[in-house]
Amino acid sequence: DIQLTQSPSFLSASVGDRVTITCRASQGISSYLAWYQQKPGKAPNLLIYAASTLQRGTPSRFSGGGSGTEFTLTISRLQPEDFATYYCQQHYSYPLTFGGGTKVEIK
């Protein structure tokens, strides 16, 4: 199985901050990586797929990058509605796997 390690697991930030979350894969996954946002009591919401392609409706302040084994999710200017937990997910091989999550909280 491909392991995905997210860092940090917890992040405290202020509105307007630039935030970057990293996802590292245990082996190369080309660009087959997606990012999700999950708010309490809700299903995850797809933000980015294929490492850097914004899903329809994702605000442009979100961006994704990387390939191979190292990937990033960046929020250029954090908004109040962005405080949530973020997960990466590889769709390169089976079983499909998720990272452990990064919780972004208000400083």
Q: Which is nearer to other proteins, 10 or 77 (CB)?
A: 10
CA gap 54, 32 in Å, rounded? 13
Q: How far apart are CA 60 and CA 53, in angstroms?
A: 11
Select the span of 12-20, 58-66, 67-75, 99-107 touching other proteins (CB under 8 A): 99-107
- Is beta strand 102-106 parallel, antiparallel or unpaired with respect to 10-13? parallel
Q: Counting contacts by CB under 8 A, is residue 58 touching other proteins?
A: no
Footprint of other proteins on this chain (CB under 8 A)? 1, 34, 36, 42-46, 49, 55, 87, 89, 91, 94-101
